[in-house]
Amino acid sequence: MDIQLQAFLRNVLRSAHSAELPEPLEDKMIQDMMIQLESRIQAKILEVLPEVEHVEYLSMMQREAPQEEITEFIQKLIPDIKNLLATVFKDFEQEYINFIQKA
């Protein structure tokens, strides 16, 4: 997992929980959060990606294409991808914190 992404998720987790969590539990929760975040990213990309490009994108994901290839493909078709991802991250953080605070 990318170090910056792991740090982001750790910060979200710690912002949401008032008590310090045991490290093994925190690590497991971060792994679970990563799965959720990746799913949201995939869904958002498919939402804005031209429909005719869905098959190629999904094919790259399925064959686990190199990250550089995927990034180039997405940036070519979604020029504003950085802002799109920033919004996904911000929404994820807010929804996670809200969910934990309501529990």
Give pLDDT, residue 2: 84
Give pLDDT, residue 18: 84
Is there a domain that residue 13 lies in?
A: no
CA dist 82 and 75 (Å) reads 9
Give pLDDT, residue 1: 67
Residues (pLDDT < 70) of the chain are 1
Task: State if pTM tops 0.85.
Answer: yes
Domain containing 33: what range?
A: 28-102
Is there a domain that residue 64 lies in?
A: yes
How far from each other are the two terminal CA atoms of the chain, in whole angstroms? 28
Is there a domain that residue 16 lies in?
A: no
CA dist 98 and 103 (Å) reads 9
CA dist 34 and 4 (Å) reads 12
